[in-house]
Amino acid sequence: MIGNEKTEQFKILAFETSCDDTSVAIINSEFKVIVNLISSQTTHEDFGGVVPELASRLHLKNIMQLTQAALTKADLSFKDIDSIAVSVNPGLIGALLVGVSFAKSLAYSLGKPIIAVNHMLGHIYANRIENPQLEPPYLALVVSGGHTELVDFKSLDVFEIIGRTRDDAAGEAFDKISNLMGLGYPGGPIIDKIARNGDPKFHRFPRALNKKDNFDFSFSGFKTSVRNYLASNDNNFIKSHIADIAASVQQAIVDSLVSKTIAFAEKSNAKTIIVAGGVSANSLLRSEISKKGKAIGANVFFPALEYCMDNAAMIGAAAIEKYQKGEFADLSLNAFSKKGIRIL
Ligand code: KG4
Ligand code: ZN
């Protein structure tokens, strides 16, 4: 529903439960985050990845308490909230359903309008928390645990997916290789940290699909080559070079992401590049894409580190313009798990 544009100040209470983080935030119409609480589910670490049923149960256990804690921390009550925002896709369906059901019951009982937000759009809007003026046109590299997409946004409604992964997502590659190396979950932050003491040129792992004009990504062949490399060297060698191997792995993933993004930015004369999703926290990705973006005359933006990984503040940020345009959902709203960037 599109209504009249609203220009008054307002506050949005936002929920994010698409994967293994339960998060509740309150953000105002100026993109100021009043509170952003995240309860990360460490239980999954024992399994080397997220167990969907466990994730849903833990969201259910956390969400009420976290909502109360967010209001207390912000020194606000439900009557100060103007609207409720919730991520509805993509994600684990059971996990999303907890957030959506909770948000709908709150909206109904408080008589407040509800706003449906695409989780990936939330990642993109995380950039506006520090840079509220940031608007398309821009080229977005969206890199998370489930997605790797290069998207050319003319406006938020008119966009083209230039490239996407043909197999694993970039974050998934970090996570799976970290498991292969025995380093734990989630792999991205662990490899990022260990790689700081390693030599990125220690071993050259393959970069897939590196032909000019191919903007798709692929990480599964590279993952197999890491597996073969680990199997063909003895344990002592691997242990003593763990930082070098981590740095070489990180360099290979980052090279693929950066080279394709910069090549398309150069071809399309993009002046603004934004990076979004959990992998945007990667220190090497941030420095390489900034350097290479600058060299072709493009400004590169990332979310602040605290808003790179899943959080409800970004869901609230993506709901601000929807509130202003009166784009509210009704109580038949449901979660769905279709992948990708789809603007609701
Ligand atoms: O966006 P996100 O929090 O959840 C999804 O929507 O998937 O992204 C999580 C992913 C994980 O795969 C994690 O390993 C990766 O982001 N990640 C990183 C870093 N921090 C998180 N990957 C590389 N370097 C990091 N510093
Ligand atoms: Zn995410």
Amino acid at 96: L
Question: What's the gap in Å between 143 CA and the centre of ligand 1?
Answer: 8
In sequence order, the 6+-apart residues with CB closer than 8 A to the CB of 123 are 142, 144, 276, 277, 280, 303, 314
Question: What's the gap in Å between 102 CA and the centre of ligand 2?
Answer: 20
* 188 pocket-lining for ligand 1 (C-beta < 6 Å): yes
* 173 pocket-lining for ligand 1 (C-beta < 6 Å): no
Choice from 117, 279, 283 to test ligand 1 binding pocket (greatest atom count within 8 A of CB)? 279
Question: What's the gap in Å between 122 CA and the centre of ligand 2?
Answer: 8
Amino acid at 36: N
Instruction: Work out which ligand 1 atom sits closest to the CA atom of 253.
Output: 23
pLDDT of residue 56: 93
Q: What is the band of 2 on the pLDDT scale with cuts at 50, 70, 90?
A: very low
* 122 pocket-lining for ligand 1 (C-beta < 6 Å): no
- Three-state DSSP class for residue 6: coil
Q: Per-residue b/e over 96-120, b at no fewer than 16 CB within 10 Å?
A: bbbbbbbbbebbeeeebbbbbbbbb
* 120 pocket-lining for ligand 1 (C-beta < 6 Å): no
- CA dist 185 and 102 (Å) reads 28
Ligand whose nearest atom lies closest to the CA of 187: 1
Residues near ligand 2 ion, CB 5 Å cutoff: 144, 310
pLDDT of residue 255: 97
In sequence order, the 6+-apart residues with CB closer than 8 A to the CB of 331 are 104, 107, 108, 114
pLDDT of residue 340: 63
- Tell me which residue has its CA closest to atom 21 in ligand 1: 278
CA distances from 203 to 178, 180, 225, 252, 285 (A): 16, 16, 11, 10, 19
**How does pLDDT run across 159-218, given as a tens digit for each residue?**
999 999 999 999 999 999 999 999 998 999 999 999 999 999 999 999 988 888 899 999
pLDDT of residue 41: 82
Instruction: Work out which ligand 1 atom sits closest to the CA atom of 170.
Output: 12
- The mean per-residue pLDDT over the stretch 112-121 comes to 96
Question: What's the gap in Å between 48 CA and the centre of ligand 1?
Answer: 14
DSSP for 119-158, please give it: HHHHHHHHHHHH-TT--SSEEEEEE-SS-EEEEEESSSSS
Question: What's the gap in Å between 140 CA and the centre of ligand 2?
Answer: 15
* 279 pocket-lining for ligand 1 (C-beta < 6 Å): yes
pLDDT of 224 above 70? yes
pLDDT of residue 8: 81
pLDDT of residue 246: 98
Instruction: Tell me the chain's radius of gyration from C-alpha atoms.
Output: 20
Instruction: Work out which ligand 1 atom sits closest to the CA atom of 119.
Output: 6
Question: What's the gap in Å between 282 CA and the centre of ligand 1?
Answer: 8
Instruction: Work out which ligand 1 atom sits closest to the CA atom of 283.
Output: 26
Mean pLDDT check: name the lowest of 3-12, 30-39, 180-189, 219-228.
3-12
Question: What's the gap in Å between 205 CA and the centre of ligand 2?
Answer: 27
* More confident: 86 or 341: 86
Instruction: Work out which ligand 1 atom sits closest to the CA atom of 178.
Output: 14
